[in-house]
């Protein structure tokens, strides 16, 4: 069988599965979700699972990860995990207890929404589809385009649940909302999660998302999140990726910002087998600011690919991107960042930087900045570096009696510091700082209680 | 304290040190002067253990132990200190964390307990006062954003914290105004004792007005071509290096 046929067959496998479970998918889902489902499936059929011939997936080979015969979770299952004993996030001072999500399904039992000010909605996608389909319709599948992205199409075709967050007009939510994604099943599992965040005008919220695995089964998680940030609204979105190394995680985030809004995204990747983070931000109003930070600390055969796209549609907006990777052993990484300034988006400030530290000769990094500028009065810059630890600085530290390993640790921490300090929630920053240090020390960096059952 | 015997060193195949001999006893201050490119900084870096230099011949004993086979960190912990000519900026490494780690590594080496946070702060304050260091160190990275003078003072501060047996100060005076120069010299003098020694590498005599050397050596073309008392420094200041160059065939 030729490679081409094999690849086509791989996509066929997922198409066949869709047809097999079609009734299950449509059953119990709201019309809003099902309407998008039909078109999404057709879009997936047209595109298939992306190969490396697809420019966007040149540096990330998804095919081996889609080959296994996964189980799917198309129906809500009773959660078999005792959340009280399994997991107790030991950063409780963050504000409230975390709300949990299992295999893409929002766990209403752990829902902490009542801890937040009246008016906010924090619930499952399924629930909002039932309670307020009109609200969902306004946002669902509006900015995550199935026609141009096969993985979004696949997600939309299989979507059943995920989280829905709605912050009403002018409400400032001080305490961070913490959500924890758990992968926990009895066998290899394919997870689809679909989320929506809406920050109405003048409102503000901070979201902390932690991704964990609770056992060593193989997982593929394909999630899509659509985020709408209204006029003069703000959102801080923190994501800690800490799943075991047999996990494939594809996260596609789409953000639309209106005028005067401020969005900060911050992703920390510690463990995980293959991780692909897609982040697209559309600056849809003047004076909006987007800050995008990412850092990954990987080793063994881990692969991390961050792919960003910022579209400056309106003038006077600013976007900043800083992505840093520390790669050890035979790990591989990729970064591709596109900045698109459309005509008339004058006075745009758009900056992008990607710095990488290679700790071994076997580790590799691909970095690809891309600027498309159709306006003439803009400030844009991009820079990428791939290098080793500064030997002059190493000598300075060692000449003060600090041994080589410790000095190297200090240098790696220093490299990460710039991105770590961008975490504005102090307790989270301290926690991630500690995890990063552990990770750089060659230890498995897992949250204390999450050590349960997981030999990451 | 330190005994250098017929030391040859090269970098990238180019020979820089060509047979250095030097004996330093406890309590002595030695000044090493010489024109640019004569090998002064190379000597300092070789003694501190910088890896890019290749030792092609000779030996060095520090407190009767073979220095050259030790790592830079072990040399430091044995009591050797290099004050850098160009202290590097290390963004992201907090100054306090850096110096605390260094102090505790020294203490561990001597079989002493690590300092508690309180003890460390107390020590740091005292030493900062000693070297008249006014730079706020909390929340700052090693040397980052420090002025030229602050960087040099920071070297002396680190020296004060680590209390070395032998301090090698590589052009600590260059780029300093006269007030900063005095402060640095005061710091060095305050740390002087009958058990400790120092090597002052400098281009100019003026530092030696404040730190009075017992011996002055002239390094030229990788060799010590002249050694005498402190009066040699004055002679060099007056006549420059041309006569040395002539005496040694350019």
What is the pLDDT at residue A453?
41
Does the distance separating the beta carbons of A401 and B90 come in below 8 Å? no
Q: Is A413 on the interface with B (CB under 8 A)?
A: yes
What is the pLDDT at residue B132?
81
Which residues of B make CB contacts under 8 Å with A?
48-51, 71-73, 75-77, 81-82, 84, 87-88, 90-93, 97-99, 101-102, 105-106, 109, 141-142, 158, 162
Mutate to test the interface with A, among B77, B86, B87, B90 (most CBs of A within 10 A): B90
Q: Alpha-carbon distance B135 to A387, whole Å?
A: 32
Does the distance separating the beta carbons of A399 and B72 come in below 8 Å? yes
Residues of B in contact with A399 (CB under 8 A): 48-49, 72-73, 75-76, 81-82, 84
Q: Is A406 on the interface with B (CB under 8 A)?
A: yes
pLDDT at A454 over 70: no
Rounded average pLDDT over A119-129: 96
Residue B27, helix vs strand vs coil = coil
pLDDT at B57 over 50: yes
Q: Alpha-carbon distance B240 to B116, whole Å?
A: 51
Does the distance separating the beta carbons of A410 and B93 come in below 8 Å? yes
Q: Alpha-carbon distance A71 to A23, whole Å?
A: 17
Q: Alpha-carbon distance A244 to A211, whole Å?
A: 10
Rounded average pLDDT over A229-239: 98
Query: B2-11 and B54-62: which strand pairing?
Result: antiparallel
Cross-chain CB nearest to B73 (options A393, A398, A417): A398
Of the pLDDT bands very low, low, confident and very high (cuts 50, 70, 90), residue A93 is: low
Rounded average pLDDT over A18-32: 92
pLDDT at A447 over 70: no
Q: Per the structure, how many domains does chain B have?
A: 1
Of the pLDDT bands very low, low, confident and very high (cuts 50, 70, 90), residue A437 is: confident
User: For chain A, how long is the longest CA-to-CA vector?
Assistant: 69
What is the pLDDT at residue A89?
56
Query: Cα distance from A392 to chain B (closest Cα, Å)?
Result: 7
pLDDT at A20 over 60: yes
Cross-chain CB nearest to B106 (options A401, A407, A410): A401
pLDDT at A207 over 90: yes
Query: Cα distance from A60 to chain B (closest Cα, Å)?
Result: 31
Neighbours of A31 (CB within 10 A): 12
Of the pLDDT bands very low, low, confident and very high (cuts 50, 70, 90), residue A455 is: very low
Rounded average pLDDT over A139-167: 97
Q: Alpha-carbon distance B229 to B202, whole Å?
A: 15
User: For chain B, how long is the longest CA-to-CA vector?
Assistant: 59
Rounded average pLDDT over B22-43: 92
Percent of chain A with pLDDT strictly greater than 70: 91
Mutate to test the interface with B, among A353, A389, A401 (most CBs of B within 10 A): A401
Mutate to test the interface with A, among B11, B47, B72, B95 (most CBs of A within 10 A): B72
pLDDT at A180 over 50: yes
pLDDT at A395 over 60: yes
Q: Contact B146/B154 with Cβ under 8 angstroms?
A: yes
pLDDT at A28 over 50: yes
Q: Alpha-carbon distance A398 to A404, whole Å?
A: 6
Q: How do residues B170-189 score in pLDDT, each as one tens digit? A: 998 887 888 888 888 888 88
Q: What is the mean pLDDT of chain A?
A: 91
Mutate to test the interface with B, among A392, A396, A403 (most CBs of B within 10 A): A396
Q: Contact B167/B158 with Cβ under 8 angstroms?
A: no
Residues of B in contact with A436 (CB under 8 A): none
What is the pLDDT at residue B241?
83
Q: Pull the structure tokens for residue B212.
A: 């009075």
The label of the residue with tokens 């965040």 reads: A197
Query: B14-24 and B166-170: which strand pairing?
Result: unpaired
Rounded average pLDDT over A209-226: 93
What is the pLDDT at residue B238?
83
Q: What is the Cβ-side half-sphere exposure of residue A303, based on CA atoms within 13 angstroms?
A: 17
| Residue A456 maps to a domain | no
Q: Alpha-carbon distance A227 to A140, whole Å?
A: 10
| Residue A328 maps to a domain | yes
pTM of the model: 0.82
Q: Alpha-carbon distance A122 to A145, whole Å?
A: 24
pLDDT at A416 over 70: yes
H/E segment holding residue A398: helix A391-398
Neighbours of A394 (CB within 10 A): 21
What is the pLDDT at residue A86?
54
Cα dist. A295→A243, A268, A272, A389, A417 in Å?
15, 5, 13, 17, 10
Cross-chain CB nearest to B92 (options A392, A400, A418): A418
Query: Cα distance from A406 to chain B (closest Cα, Å)?
Result: 9
A406: nearest CA partner in chain B: B101
Residues of A in contact with B92 (CB under 8 A): 413-418
Domain CATH for B87: 3.40.50.300
Do the interacting molecules here have an ipTM over 0.90? Answer: yes
Q: Per the structure, how many domains does chain A have?
A: 1
Chain pair A-B, CB pairs under 8 angstroms: 82
- C-alpha torsion sign, points A142, A148, A152, A153: positive
Cα dist. A65→A49, A71, A160, A331, B132 in Å?
11, 14, 22, 16, 62
Nearest one of B153, B107, B149 to B128, comparing CA atoms: B153
């Amino acid at each position: 069988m030729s490679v081409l046929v094999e690849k086509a067959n791989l996509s066929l496998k997922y198409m066949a599965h869709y047809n097999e479970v079609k009734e299950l998918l449509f059953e119990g889902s709201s019309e809003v979700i099902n309407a998008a489902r039909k078109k999404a499936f057709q879009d997936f059929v047209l595109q298939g699972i992306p190969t490396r011939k697809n420019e966007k997936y040149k540096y990330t080979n998804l095919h081996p990860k889609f080959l296994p015969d996964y189980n799917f979770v198309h129906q809500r299952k009773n959660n078999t995990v005792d959340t009280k004993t399994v997991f107790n996030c030991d950063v409780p001072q963050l504000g409230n207890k975390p709300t949990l999500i299992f295999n893409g399904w929002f766990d209403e039992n752990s829902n902490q929404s009542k801890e937040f000010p009246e008016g906010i909605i924090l619930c499952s996608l399924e629930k909002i589809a039932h309670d307020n389909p009109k609200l969902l319709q306004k946002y669902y599948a509006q900015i995550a385009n199935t026609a141009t992205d096969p993985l979004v199409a696949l997600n939309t075709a299989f979507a059943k649940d995920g989280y829905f967050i709605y912050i009403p007009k002018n409400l400032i939510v001080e305490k961070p909302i913490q959500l924890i994604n758990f992968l926990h099943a009895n066998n290899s599992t394919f997870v689809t999660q679909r989320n929506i965040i809406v920050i109405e005008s003048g409102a503000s919220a901070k979201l902390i998302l932690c991704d964990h695995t609770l056992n060593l089964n193989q997982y593929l998680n394909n999630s899509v999140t659509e985020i709408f940030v209204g006029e003069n609204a703000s959102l801080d979105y923190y994501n800690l990726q800490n799943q075991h190394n047999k996990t494939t995680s594809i996260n596609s985030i789409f953000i639309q910002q209106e005028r005067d809004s401020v969005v900060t995204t911050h992703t920390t990747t510690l463990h995980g087998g293959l991780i692909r983070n897609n982040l697209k931000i559309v600056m849809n109003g003047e004076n909006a600011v987007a800050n995008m930070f990412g850092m990954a600390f990987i080793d063994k055969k881990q692969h991390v690919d961050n792919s960003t796209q910022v579209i400056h549609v309106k003038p006077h907006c600013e976007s900043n991107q800083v992505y840093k990777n520390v790669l050890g052993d035979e790990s591989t990484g990729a970064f591709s960042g596109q900045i698109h300034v459309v005509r008339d988006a004058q006075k745009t400030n758009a900056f992008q930087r990607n710095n990488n530290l290679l700790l071994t000769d076997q580790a590799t990094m691909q970095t690809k900045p891309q600027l498309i500028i159709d306006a003439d009065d803009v400030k844009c810059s991009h820079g990428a570096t791939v290098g080793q630890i500064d030997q002059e600085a190493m000598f300075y530290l060692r000449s003060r009696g600090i041994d080589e390993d410790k000095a190297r640790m200090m240098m790696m921490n220093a490299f990460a510091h710039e991105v770590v300090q961008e975490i504005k929630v102090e307790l989270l920053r301290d926690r991630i700082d500690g995890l990063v240090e552990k990770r750089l020390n060659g230890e498995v960096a897992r949250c204390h209680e999450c050590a349960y059952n997981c030999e990451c | 304290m330190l005994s250098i015997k017929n030391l040859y060193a090269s970098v990238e195949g180019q020979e820089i040190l060509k047979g250095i001999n030097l004996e330093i006893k406890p309590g002595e201050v030695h000044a090493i002067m010489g024109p640019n490119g004569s090998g002064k900084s190379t000597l300092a870096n070789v003694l501190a253990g910088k890896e890019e230099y290749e030792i092609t011949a000779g030996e060095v004993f520090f407190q009767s132990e073979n220095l050259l086979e030790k790592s830079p960190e072990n040399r430091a912990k044995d009591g050797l200190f290099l004050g850098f000519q160009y202290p590097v900026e290390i963004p992201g490494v907090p100054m306090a964390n850096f110096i605390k780690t260094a102090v505790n590594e020294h203490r561990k080496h001597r079989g002493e307990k690590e300092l508690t946070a309180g003890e460390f702060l107390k020590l740091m304050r005292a030493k900062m006062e000693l070297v008249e260091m006014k730079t706020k160190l909390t929340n700052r990275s090693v040397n980052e954003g420090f002025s030229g003078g602050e960087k040099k003072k920071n070297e002396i501060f680190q020296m004060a914290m680590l209390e070395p047996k032998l301090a090698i100060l590589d052009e600590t005076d260059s780029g300093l105004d006269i007030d900063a120069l005095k402060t640095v010299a005061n710091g060095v003098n305050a740390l002087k004792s009958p058990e400790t020694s120092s090597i002052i590498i400098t281009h100019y005599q003026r530092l030696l007005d404040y730190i009075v050397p017992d011996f002055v050596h002239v390094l030229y073309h990788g060799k010590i071509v002249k050694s005498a008392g402190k009066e040699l420094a004055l002679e060099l200041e007056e006549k420059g290096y041309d006569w040395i160059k002539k005496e040694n065939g350019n």
